[in-house]
């Protein structure tokens, strides 16, 4: 009995996160819940994806215990509500930035014009106390979420970006109020109010977060486009009546009419009428496909000319489009090995910053020049503000979001961040033949019967046996028999022999249909067919030997032409520096002929399905990082064994489940595109991580006053706030450059 498939991961919207430290805290809380096998939090999307034996209520409780909030994302409506919430958050951040910025600008303008009184008179002190109270109101309105977030984290014994901002701006306000209320308690040289610094920092951080939020919206554009492919209603046919209904209400078996120019709402099979359908969403091909009775249709594709009625087979989350969206979301929430470095740093970053801030305060208070209190406040405030690890938390997930979305635009579904990173590291690609390099739609091109048999009898018996097989070559024999009007009887016995063919009984006669190894294994002399088999194989055809009642009866030649774009795609792979090999169970001469036509030098032929994974292992033992592309059940072990498995989109579910990357369109160009996108995405992540680490490595010492002994200059806290906001925006903007990336040589 096969194992039950793993439960679908749950997704949650997480609120209250602001930096890489938040990500680490939420992931830790989720992973400690019993039954959780993996948890991944995406700061860019503000979501969490959790796998295992799960109870949503327990997971939400764990997140809340860590000081954040969570809501399960189950339906499209939940996702849309989250998107609306994000847009509202952007507007709120912008309003906060505008309010704080306007107040700060008024304070700074008055100071520049000398309009404000000093602190050395009673009226001046009253004025600045009033300014302090007004500043407090602005801080509450525009920065209240920072202080409430910090308070929540404190209650849960955590610290994050909110903690740093609240400590920094709060300290500036308290110090300034102390100066305004009790000026004599502060040395004369340190009697300076920092109200404008506090509100300016709040303004800049809100503005940076708003810009970051808007840029993140652009980064997730791929998902939005995919969601936009789903129509909202369907034309339900009920007897003689038709009516428009929400697609959420459609049930399997429902009859749906599609009119010209409409998108097909769900997956199904045409039962009446005919039309042409644009399936570029799936295949990337602009050419329309004729759909007649019995043909499958896919939700999200566009009906063009005619009208037809189809029966819904897959609805809701079962549709191909829904699965594509789920696959993209799952990949966007995953992390490549490269991104885990940031997670390890983030876990200790904020506490380390707090320690550095305390040490900075102590150093300036004990060893700094006068006014020590003033210098201590400025440097400590600047350290707290500049060190916020927002950029570090966004460096990896924002690039993953854009890269995976870009791949989806090219018909490439990447399972997770690990597959995305590994694809760019490949040094060799091994290709299955049938359905991967070739069209996978073979046809019978030759038929030879030995004495005692005629061609029709030979074909009828072979077709009868192959009726029990799902192999593409079997379908070719069945189609050839049907074209000749031959009625094939179902086999009385049938057994598939991996890597050899099939055996059984048809019409009371013992049959063996397959390659020379099958005949040899059954003690049947295949010599009478050897010369013709070699001739067909040398011409690129697959010879299928037929034995009846333990003697050779004839031979069937089957041709499977190259996909039109295989030659160019394989050339692209070589241009990327990859070694390309062909791996097949087919006849050696046939494999060599196909390989020569496709431009492949290395060939492994007559390989049993169980041995395909061994070929992959041999490559890996030589230090190669191997990608394997295939479409059949027999390819699944090799796909799983490879560093990256590429499943052709038209392949079996088993092959797709065994692969790290699925090529929806089934073109080998998808492999080259995936590798190019992987390399561009990983390079982008490295740039972001380098920038984030460099920013903090240089920024914190500067904020602490490292240049003061040599230059007498300190970093202004307001500049620190601007730098912190700019660092996050820069990371997101750099990731968005991937949206314009186009793999070299990709078909137009």
- The residues annotated with a catalytic role in the active site are 432
Instruction: State how far the Cα of 387 lies from the Cα of 455, in Å rounded to an integer.
Output: 81
List own/partner pairs for 645-652 with CB under 8 A and 24 or more apart.
646/429, 646/670, 646/671, 646/674, 648/435, 648/436, 649/282, 649/411, 650/435, 650/440, 651/435
d(CA 81, CA 97): 24
Helix (H) or strand (E) holding 37: strand 36-42
User: Comparing C-alpha atoms, which of 606, 616, 576 is closest to residue 516?
Assistant: 606
Pairing of strands 661-663, 412-414: antiparallel
Give Cβ neighbours of residue 684 (< 8 Å, ≥ 6 apart): 399, 402, 403, 734, 735, 737, 738
Calpha distance 625→635 (Å, rounded): 18
Using a 10 angstrom Cβ sphere, with 0-12 exposed, 13-18 middle and 19 or more buried, the burial of residue 157 is exposed
Nearest CA to 728 out of 199, 210, 22, 93 is that of 210
Residue 203 corresponds to which tokens in the numbers above?
């303004």
Q: In the 8-state DSSP scheme, what is residue 262?
A: P
**Cα–Cα distance, 510 to 535 (Å, whole number):** 27
Residue 270 forms beta bridges with which residues?
Answer: 310
Q: Which residues contact 457 (CB under 8 A, 6 or more apart)?
A: 449
Are 274 and 293 in contact by the 8 Å Cβ rule? The answer is yes
Q: Return the ∠ at Cα 657 (arms to 653 and 658), rounded to 5°.
A: 120
In whole angstroms, what is the distance from residue 98 CA to residue 147 CA?
Answer: 19
CA dist 670 → 412, 414, 572 (Å): 6, 11, 11
Closest CA to 353 of 381, 325, 334: 381
């Amino acid at each position: 009995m096969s194992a039950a498939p793993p439960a679908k991961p749950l997704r949650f919207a997480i609120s209250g996160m602001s930096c890489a430290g938040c990500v680490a805290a939420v992931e830790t809380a989720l992973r400690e819940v019993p039954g959780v096998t993996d948890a991944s939090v995406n700061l860019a999307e503000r979501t969490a994806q959790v796998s295992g034996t799960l109870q949503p209520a327990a997971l939400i409780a764990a997140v809340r215990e860590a000081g954040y909030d969570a809501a399960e994302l189950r339906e499209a409506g939940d996702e849309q509500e989250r998107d609306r919430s994000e847009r509202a958050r952007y507007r709120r951040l912008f309003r906060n930035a505008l309010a704080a910025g306007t107040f700060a600008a008024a304070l700074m303008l008055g100071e520049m014009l000398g309009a404000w009184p000093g602190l050395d008179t009673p009226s001046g002190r009253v004025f600045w106390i009033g300014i302090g109270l007004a500043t407090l109101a602005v801080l509450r309105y525009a920065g209240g979420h920072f202080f409430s977030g910090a308070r929540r984290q404190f209650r849960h014994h955590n610290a994050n970006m909110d903690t740093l901002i609240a400590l920094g701006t709060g300290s500036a306000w308290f110090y300034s109020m102390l100066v305004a209320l009790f000026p004599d308690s502060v040395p004369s040289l340190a009697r300076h109010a920092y109200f404008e610094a506090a509100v300016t920092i709040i303004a800049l951080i809100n503005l940076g977060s708003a810009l970051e939020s808007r840029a993140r919206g652009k980064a997730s554009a791929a998902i939005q486009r995919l969601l936009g492919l789903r129509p909202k209603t369907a034309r339900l046919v009920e007897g003689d009546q038709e009516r428009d209904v929400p697609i959420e209400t459609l049930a399997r078996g429902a009859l749906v009419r599609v009119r010209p120019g409409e998108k097909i709402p769900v997956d199904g099979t045409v039962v009446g009428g005919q039309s042409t359908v644009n399936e570029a969403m799936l295949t990337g091909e602009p050419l329309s496909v004729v759909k007649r009775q019995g043909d499958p249709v896919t939700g999200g594709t566009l009906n063009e000319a005619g009208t037809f009625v189809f029966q819904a087979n897959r609805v809701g989350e079962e549709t191909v489009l829904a699965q594509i969206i789920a696959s993209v979301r799952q990949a966007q929430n995953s992390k490549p090995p490269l991104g885990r470095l940031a997670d390890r740093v983030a876990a200790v970053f904020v506490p380390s910053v707090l320690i550095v801030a305390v040490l900075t305060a102590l150093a300036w208070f004990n060893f700094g020049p006068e006014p020590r209190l003033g210098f201590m406040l400025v440097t400590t405030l600047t350290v707290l503000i500049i060190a916020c690890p927002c950029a570090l938390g966004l460096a990896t997930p924002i690039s993953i979001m854009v890269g995976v979305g870009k791949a989806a635009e090219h018909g490439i579904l990447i399972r997770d961040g690990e597959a995305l990173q590994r694809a760019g590291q490949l040094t060799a690609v091994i290709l299955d033949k049938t359905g991967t390099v070739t069209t996978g739609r073979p046809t019978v091109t030759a038929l030879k019967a030995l004495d005692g048999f005629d061609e029709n009898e030979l074909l009828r018996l072979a077709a009868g046996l192959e009726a029990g097989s799902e192999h593409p070559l079997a379908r070719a024999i069945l189609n050839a028999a049907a074209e000749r009007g031959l009625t094939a009887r179902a086999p009385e016995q049938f057994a598939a022999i991996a890597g050899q063919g099939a055996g059984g009984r048809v019409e009371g006669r013992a049959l063996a249909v397959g390659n020379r190894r099958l005949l040899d294994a059954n003690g049947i002399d295949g010599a009478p067919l050897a010369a013709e088999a070699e001739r067909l194989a040398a011409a690129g055809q697959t010879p299928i030997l037929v034995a009846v009642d333990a003697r050779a009866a004839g031979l069937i030649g089957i041709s499977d032409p190259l996909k039109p774009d295989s030659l160019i795609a394989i050339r692209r792979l070589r241009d990327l520096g990859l070694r390309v090999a062909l791996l097949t169970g087919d006849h050696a001469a046939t494999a060599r002929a196909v390989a020569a036509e496709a431009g492949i030098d290395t060939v492994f032929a007559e390989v049993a399905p169980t041995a395909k994974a061994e070929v992959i292992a041999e490559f890996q033992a030589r230090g190669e990082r191997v990608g394997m592309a295939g479409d059949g059940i027999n390819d699944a072990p090799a796909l799983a064994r490879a560093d990256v498995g590429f499943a052709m989109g038209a392949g079996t579910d088993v092959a797709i489940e065994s692969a790290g990357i699925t090529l929806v369109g089934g073109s080998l160009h998808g492999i080259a595109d995936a590798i190019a996108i992987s390399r561009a995405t990983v390079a982008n992540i490295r740039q972001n991580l380098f920038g984030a680490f460099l920013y903090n490595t240089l920024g914190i010492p500067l904020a602490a006053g490292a240049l003061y002994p040599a230059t007498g200059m300190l970093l202004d806290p307001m500049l620190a706030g601007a730098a912190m906001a700019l660092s996050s925006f820069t990371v997101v903007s750099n990731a968005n450059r991937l949206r314009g990336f186009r793999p070299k040589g990709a078909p137009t």
